[in-house]
Amino acid sequence: MKIGFIGLGNMGAPMAANLAAAGHTVTGFDLVADTPEGVAKADTVIAAAAGQDAVITMLPNGEILQSVAGDIVAEMTKGAAFIDCSTVDVESARVVAEAATALGLHAVDAPVSGGIGGAAAGTLTFMAGGSEEAFALAEPLFDIMGQKAVHCGDSGAGQAAKICNNMILGITMLGTCEAFALADKLGLDRQKMFDVVSTSSGYSWSMNAYCPAPGVGPESPADNNYKPGFAAELMLKDLRLSQQAAVSANADTPMGQHATDLYATFVEEEDGEGKDFSAMLPRLEGRGRG
Ligand code: NAD
């Protein structure tokens, strides 16, 4: 296939490189980032999008996505797939899909989980929203860039799944960290705490696969001085998207709101930017109730 790839940052560059390595003809565009090996460089966003069978975007936020989509949808070939893999607000995903569909394109919102490591290894999970036909066009590309793709429903459903998943992740990571901090103060050994909880009803991905306590459980960013991993500011971005969606859908999400507030304080006032999101444990362990 002829594929245009817009947004060649930490995630987009390895995803585009994997598509090229699989034999597709990939043309990339980014405002600043270099084009990865195997990917041709376009001078403008329109040059990257025109005449392609599929265009994939991997951009920072919904505002930028809407602006890029505004520039390219009218230039794309009718019947082509417009696949946005960025994490954005549900509303932006729907607005972009509507504009693309009105011009005869097949739109899919397909945010990912798996991080930079998953992008490089081609093991991402895609959560997709759009018509059956649009998903069918995108699926072979998801198979190259990832190991699993779930068709979640109509436009916006992929973004909805992503932010609900990451709201749970933020909340469970905070719960796991504060339980470790409490266990410390109760004199409970962290390894014993892990041995019990990881096989009891308090288990979760945060505890079992990404344990925030150094030296305990499988290797995780905690064992690497909390170098991300999944940076606290990216968790904050996703939590804020969850609360934006909750407000527009009139959903009561008190735990999600509290997790958002805690990560905002950590990132914006306590030097948490650039640290893994599991660094909430060292933040909490030094504190008392005051
Ligand atoms: P990044 O900042 O490394 O890359 C974004 C790229 O988009 C940059 O290279 C930037 O120059 C480019 N860009 C910005 N505006 C542009 C425009 N108008 N035209 C062309 N290019 C433009 O970010 P990333 O880590 O690659 O993340 C991309 C998306 O994936 C985000 O929505 C993020 O939330 C999501 N995501 C990231 C991770 C992760 O671990 N990094 C995991 C899952 C999802």
State pLDDT tens for residues 192-223.
999 999 999 999 999 999 999 999 999 999 99
Which of 31, 96, 166 maximizes ligand 1 atoms within 8 Å of its Cβ, making it the mutation to test the pocket? 31
Which of 8, 58, 113 maximizes ligand 1 atoms within 8 Å of its Cβ, making it the mutation to test the pocket? 58
Listed in sequence order, the DSSP H helices in 103-231 are 115-121, 132-145, 157-185, 190-197, 205-208
φ, ψ of residue 93 to 5 degrees: the values are -60, -40
Separation of alpha carbons 78 and 142, rounded Å = 21
Average pLDDT, the chain: 97
| Coil, helix or strand at residue 25 | strand
* Continuous segment of H or E residues that includes residue 81: strand 81-84
Q: What does the pLDDT profile of the chain (290 residues) look like in tens digits? A: 999 999 999 999 999 999 999 999 999 999 999 999 999 999 999 999 999 999 999 999 999 999 999 999 999 999 999 999 999 999 999 999 999 999 999 999 999 999 888 999 999 999 999 999 999 999 999 999 999 999 999 999 999 999 999 999 999 999 999 999 999 999 999 999 999 999 999 999 999 999 999 999 999 999 999 999 999 999 999 999 999 999 999 999 999 999 999 999 999 999 999 999 999 999 999 899 98
The residue whose C-alpha atom lies closest to atom 5 belonging to ligand 1 is 9
Would you state the pLDDT for residue 283? 97
Q: Contact 54/107 with Cβ under 8 angstroms?
A: no
Cα 87 to averaged position of ligand 1 atoms, centre (Å): 9
pTM: 0.95
Separation of alpha carbons 25 and 244, rounded Å = 38
**Which whole-number Å values give the CA distances from 259 to 38, 164, 255, 283, in the listed order?**
41, 13, 6, 14
Would you state the pLDDT for residue 290? 81
Separation of alpha carbons 275 and 248, rounded Å = 30
Residue by residue, what is the 3-state secondary structure of 229-268? Answer: CCEHHHHHHHHHHHHHHHHHHCCCCHHHHHHHHHHHHHHH
Residue of 283, 165, 176 lying closest to 232 (CA atoms): 283
**Which whole-number Å values give the CA distances from 188 to 180, 193, 248, in the listed order?**
9, 7, 43
Pocket of ligand 1 (CB under 6 A): 6-12, 29-33, 45, 58-60, 64, 68, 86-87, 112, 115-116, 230, 234, 237
Would you state the pLDDT for residue 87? 97
Q: Is 148 a catalytic residue?
A: no
What letters, b where the CB count within 10 A reaches 16 and e where it falls short, cover 8-17? Answer: bbebbbbbbb
Cα 28 to averaged position of ligand 1 atoms, centre (Å): 13
Would you state the pLDDT for residue 181? 98
Strand duo 112-113 + 124-129: pairing: antiparallel
Please give the DSSP secondary-structure letter assigned to residue 42.
Answer: P
Cα 288 to averaged position of ligand 1 atoms, centre (Å): 37
Separation of alpha carbons 60 and 47, rounded Å = 21
Which of 59, 90, 109, 278 maximizes ligand 1 atoms within 8 Å of its Cβ, making it the mutation to test the pocket? 59
Cα 30 to averaged position of ligand 1 atoms, centre (Å): 10
